[in-house]
Amino acid sequence: MIGVTFWLHQTFHAALVDELYAAARPSGYDLVLSGTTADRPVAEAVESLQHERCGAMILISPDITRNRLARLRGHLPTVVVGSDVKARGVDLVRADDDLGMDLLVRHLVELGHERIAFVDGGDAVMSGSRRTGYERAMAAHGLTDGIDLVGGYPTEDAGVRAAHELVARPRRRRPTAVLMHNDMAAVGMLLTLRGLGVDVPGEMSVAGYDDTRIAGLATIALTTVSQDPRTLATESLGRAVARIEGSAADPRPLVVAPRLVVRSTTGPSPRGR
């Protein structure tokens, strides 16, 4: 068996678990899940898996330090997916967030946007990576002076709060486009803007990150970035199996190219503003 930890309240993690089951089916291995919550940290979820006598563990975007991860590797072969935390002997599989943010910024620049804000993920896993990717992409397009960072978190409530913060600004200081740390926050932003009478995308474009199931609903139709969960799952499962069976495994991190998914929440920058 292969143990898997995941954050119960993140829809992208659920998508990865779904793909992990599909990847595990032909391999002969089964999965044992151990969820994390605000009151159940990764250490507790991992301890539960160790009691299950798993042959390896896959940690989905774990909130864990490098030292703790290194100690964990001493007990079981470990694969980290969807995070940039590294430790010797731990396999790492993740999407290229620099490229993902560049795809979003480039898309909006091509639509004529210059005032592009980014609502970050606070202290959540990969928040720093996406924030840096946004800043690099803005600089690459000559928009350094337009960098507009807004504090947030990967939840719908954080998107709601950020929407109220942006709408409270004078019109001339509002962004014409907003990038969100993930789809969950983007949905909170989108529904709140609509409730406040802001035309999306006529007055303000909104884009998320992860391409979760809700992003594709007809009533949401969110422009976002897909991290290619099928590839992330297949590669992380393959590395876990290789470690269990003693096969040769590439020790280098595997970085998967993301894909831009354009829907109806982004459009041309409003003129005359």
- pTM of the entire predicted model: 0.93
Instruction: Report residue 245 as tokens.
Output: 């069976």
Which region among 48-62, 128-142, 169-183 has the lowest average model confidence (pLDDT)? 48-62
pLDDT tens-digit series, residues 181-207: 999 999 999 999 999 999 999 999 999
Instruction: Report residue 140 as tokens.
Output: 């690459």
Tally Cβ neighbours within 10 Å of residue 102.
Answer: 21
pLDDT at residue 70, as a whole number? 84
* Inter-helix orientation angle 11-24/183-195, to 10°: 140
Mean pLDDT (the chain, rounded): 94
CA distances from 271 to 203, 223, 261 (A): 9, 21, 25
CA–CA distance, 193 with 195 (Å, rounded to integer)? 5
pLDDT at residue 215, as a whole number? 97
CA–CA distance, 259 with 267 (Å, rounded to integer)? 18
Task: Find where tokens 């924030």 sit.
Answer: 131
**Confidence category of residue 248, pLDDT binned at 50, 70, 90:** low
pLDDT at residue 2, as a whole number? 97
**Confidence category of residue 270, pLDDT binned at 50, 70, 90:** very high
Domains defined for the chain, CATH in brackets: 2-95+227-257 (3.40.50.2300), 97-225 (3.40.50.2300)
3-class secondary structure, 259: strand
Q: Which of 208, 188, 214 is nearest to 260 (CA)?
A: 208
Share of the chain above pLDDT 90, in %: 85
pLDDT tens-digit series, residues 147-192: 999 999 999 999 999 999 999 999 999 999 999 999 999 999 999 9
- In this structure, are residues 71 and 149 in contact, taking their beta carbons and an 8 Å threshold? no
Instruction: Write the burial class of residue 135 (CB in 10 Å: 0-12 exposed, 13-18 middle, 19+ buried).
Output: middle
3-class secondary structure, 94: strand
Q: Is the dihedral of CA 132, 137, 142, 148 positive or negative?
A: negative
What is the CB-side half-sphere exposure of residue 4 using CA atoms within 13 A?
Answer: 25
